[in-house]
Chain A
Amino acid sequence: MATIQIKTEVSGSVWKIITAVGETVEPGGTLMILESMKMEIPVIAEDGGTVQKFTVAEAEAVNEGQVVAVLTK
């Protein structure tokens, strides 16, 4: 089982986490939505997988390249 680190491509803040730990996400599925540059930017699990943990919480600030979730597949 491979561990996948999901990194954000933008700096901003976590607006809504729309998946839960243990949930399986399809490839291309959205894990959470960030707010950046007044836009709602989805964080996408390109290859899909099962959410092991989130490393950020809602309303928390994130930096570009930061790991925001860990998935396994």
Chain B
Amino acid sequence: MTARVTAEAPAPTDWSPEVEELRQRRGYAKALGGEEAVARHRERGRLTVRERVAGLVDRDSFKEVGTLTGQGKYDGTALASVQPAPYVMGLANIDGRPVAVGGEDFTIRGGSSWSGDRKKGGQGGFVEDLAASYRIPLVNLIDGAGGSVTSINKRGHAVFPGVHGFERSVELLGMVPVVCAVLGTAAGGPAGRAILSHWSVMVDGISQVFAAGPPVVERSLGQKLTKEELGGPQIAVDLAGTIDNRVDTEEDCFAQMKRFLSYMPSNVWEMPPEVTCSDPVDRCDEELLSIVPRDRRRPYNMRKLIEHVVDRGSVFEIQPTYGKGLITVLARMNGKVVGVIANNPMVYGGAMDVRAARKQIHFVELCDCFHIPLVFLVDVPGFMVGRDAEAAATLREGMRAVYVGLQATVPMYTVVIRKCYGMAGMGTTDKNGLDLKIAWPSAEWGSLPIEGGVAAAFRRDIASAADPKAREREIEDELRSMASPFRTAEAFGVEEIIDPRETRPYLCRFIDAAQARLRTTLGPKAKYGVRP
């Protein structure tokens, strides 16, 4: 009998009450921490996490995941309100390519962690799984201070560090590009995540990053410091190199994040994106002929030199304010992405100090990981010397740079502009590949610069001379006459010497030809051994 009644009166199919509730719940998500909290956040000169996502990604491309997460309040069984989870994330496009993007919502409990069934963001969160599973870049918009001791209260026990470990974050670094922006005060886990990235950036005036903030520092060491003094860009970017680049505004930050990603493939199984090049490959700028002073004590502008060689407008400098003795830029040659590592003769004559070594290590690993050929523009007198340099472990960090260079398997091109000495010089060569070294006529090389080595190597000869100073100069002149790069080229100790103006066409030709090698060696790079 019951069956007949059902057949006569069709079952209700109207889901509009639930859809209305969905709309209402989405509204709570869009409202973030509420009007008051959002207004306070804006007063501090900061964008909300939703404005950040909108400012970064292609228009209307953001597909949010976990919109409804949060803490619901109910009147009996009826929904009264929802405090959203303090993390917004999902899938979006940047310049037409998909990315996983997420960021803390500072307007809700300062973007601190949230206990749902599954983590949305942070280490081991859904957003990291999305990047790993779909093999797409991960973009972290960091604005949170991580764990709080109040969680002991909630749980009734202290959480062991690493319950949500960094293992996924670490795995990602070998799979897909990871880009982090510090957009507030980052300490603890979020600060750690900012470092676990291929490229990181912070905004002057609103961003600080540290292992622990001022209250902890004061309690531990008695040092009274402001957030800015402890972890503002002057410390974190310029002095420490903890974060790579600094920018003036959040808008500039988004523009630079997009720019960085434009040089990156979506993952290590793909080639870096090639663009059509309108700059003539055979452009031979006259300026290159006279850019290096004949007086070897005089430095010159290496950044200008780079501009003359790579595709016009293609330079993106990584860590421009840290380790200034070395310049690292992503650029293009005939539309193909290259990483340029150039010594800067304006700072310590281009000698490799600890900072320059660290910068080179990270950049070589970045380019090797994403199959980006490296161009070394070499003017290095060697490792930095002096007590300070030794106390800072220049030799160890410098040898790490050499070690990492020797493990890299991406094609590398050595262009010796002027000095190429010692182990730092050796670290610019492609010993696992073609080892193509080309030189300008201004090039000079050896185990160490002649003027430094003569006094030691010819000590007795010099000491027994009637005029020791004159004898030292005589030996130096004699040796220097044999140090001409043409003599090494005769012996094929350097593969080619070129007119400086020919640098661009020469490199473009070889980088074009190396594409086959790159295409056939895609995938993750194995890591082995122990870095010294």
Shortest Cβ gap from B291 to chain A (Å): 16
| B299 touches A (CB below 8 Å) | yes
Q: Is B460 an interface residue (CB 8 A)?
A: no
Contact A40 B297 (CB under 8 A): yes
Closest Cβ neighbor of B389 among chain A residues = A11
What per-residue 1/0 map shows which CB atoms of B299-339 lie under 8 Å from chain A? Answer: 10000000000000000000000001000000000000000
Minimal Cβ-Cβ distance residue in A for B239: A65
The contact string, 1 if C-beta is below 8 Å from chain B, for chain A 1-35, is 00000000111000000000000000000000000
A38 B346 Cβ-Cβ under 8 A:
no
B346 touches A42 (CB 8 A): yes
CB <8 Å contact, A41 and B324: no
In the complex, the answer to whether A39 meets B299 with C-beta atoms within 8 Å is: yes
Of the candidates A11, A38, A42, the one whose C-beta lies within 8 Å of that of B451 is: A38
- Residues of A within 8 Å of B299, CB to CB, are 39-42
- Kindly report which residue of chain B lies nearest to residue A15, judged by CB atoms: B297
Residues of A within 8 A of B324 (CB): 9
A52 interface residue (CB < 8 Å to B) = no
**Contact partners of A42 in chain B: CB under 8 A:** 299, 346
Q: Is chain B's binding surface mostly helix, strand, loop or mixed?
A: loop
Q: Tell yes or no: B348 within 8 A of A by CB.
A: yes
Complex interface: chain A residues within 8 A of B294 (CB): none
CA distance A40 to B348 in the complex (A): 9
A11 to B351: give the CA distance in the assembly, Å: 12
A37 touches B349 (CB 8 A): yes
Identify which of A11, A36, A37, A40 contacts B388 (C-beta below 8 A). Answer: A11
Shortest B392–chain A CB gap in Å is 12
Give the Cβ gap from B366 to chain A, nearest Cβ, in Å: 25
**Could you mark each residue 263-303 of chain B with 1 if its beta carbon is under 8 Å from any beta carbon of chain A, else 0?**
00000000000000000000000000000000001110000
B388 touches A39 (CB 8 A): no
A10 contacts B348, C-beta separation under 8 Å: yes
Using CB atoms, name the residue of chain B closest to A10. Answer: B348
- Residue-wise, chain A 42-71 has the 8 Å CB interface mask toward B (1 for contact) of 100000000000000000000000000000
Q: How far is the CB of A27 from chain B (nearest CB, A)?
A: 15
From residue B235, how far is it (CB to closest CB) to chain A in Å? 13
Q: Is B381 an interface residue (CB 8 A)?
A: yes
Q: Most A CB atoms within 10 A — which of B299, B345, B381?
A: B299
* In the complex, B158 has a CB within 8 A of chain A: no
Q: How far, in whole Å, are A50 and B385 apart by their CA atoms in the complex?
A: 35
Q: State whether A40 touches B381 (Cβ < 8 A).
A: no
B374-414 contact mask (Cβ, 8 Å, vs A): 1 or 0 = 00000001001110100000000000000000000000000
Most buried by A among B297, B298, B384, B451: B297
Q: Nearest-CB distance from A17 to chain B (Å)? A: 17
Q: Which of A9, A36, A37, A40 contacts B298 (CB 8 A)?
A: A40
* Chain A positions within 8 Å of B388 at CB level: 11
Query: Is there a chain A Cβ closer than 8 Å to B463's Cβ?
Result: no
- Which residue of B is nearest A44, CB measured? B346
Inter-chain contact B347/A9, CB cutoff 8 Å: yes
CA distance A41 to B384 in the complex (A): 15
* Chain B hits for A9, CB < 8 A: 324, 346-347
| Contact between A10 and B298, CB atoms less than 8 A apart | no
Q: Nearest Cβ in chain B — how far from A32, in angstroms?
A: 14
In angstroms, Cα B388 to Cα A40, docked, is 20
**Min C-beta distance of A43 to chain B, whole Å:** 10
B449 and chain A: residue at smallest CB distance: A38
Q: Quote the shortest CB–CB distance from B472 to chain A (angstroms).
A: 15
Per-residue contact bits, chain B 158-202, to A (CB 8 Å; 1 contact, 0 not): 000000000000000000000000000000000000000000000
Q: How far is the CA of A40 from the CA of B349 in the complex (A)?
A: 8
Chain A residues with CB under 8 Å of B381's CB are 37-38
Which chain A residues border B449 with CB–CB below 8 Å? 38
| Least Cβ–Cβ distance between A5 and chain B, in angstroms | 13
Q: Which residues in B have some Cβ–Cβ distance to A below 8 Å?
A: 297-299, 324, 345-349, 351, 381, 384-386, 388, 449, 451
Binding site for B on A (CB under 8 A): 9-11, 36-42
The 4 closest A-B pairs by CB, nearest first: A37-B349, A39-B349, A37-B348, A40-B297
A sample of 9 cross-chain residue pairs with beta-carbon separation below 8 angstroms, ordered by A number, consists of A36-B348, A37-B384, A38-B297, A38-B381, A38-B451, A39-B298, A40-B297, A42-B299, A42-B346
* Known pairs A37-B384, A41-B349 / 20 extra A-B pairs, C-beta < 8 Å: A36-B349, A37-B348, A37-B381, A37-B385, A38-B297, A38-B381, A38-B451, A39-B297, A39-B298, A39-B299, A39-B348, A39-B349, A40-B297, A40-B298, A40-B299, A41-B299, A41-B346, A41-B348, A42-B299, A42-B346
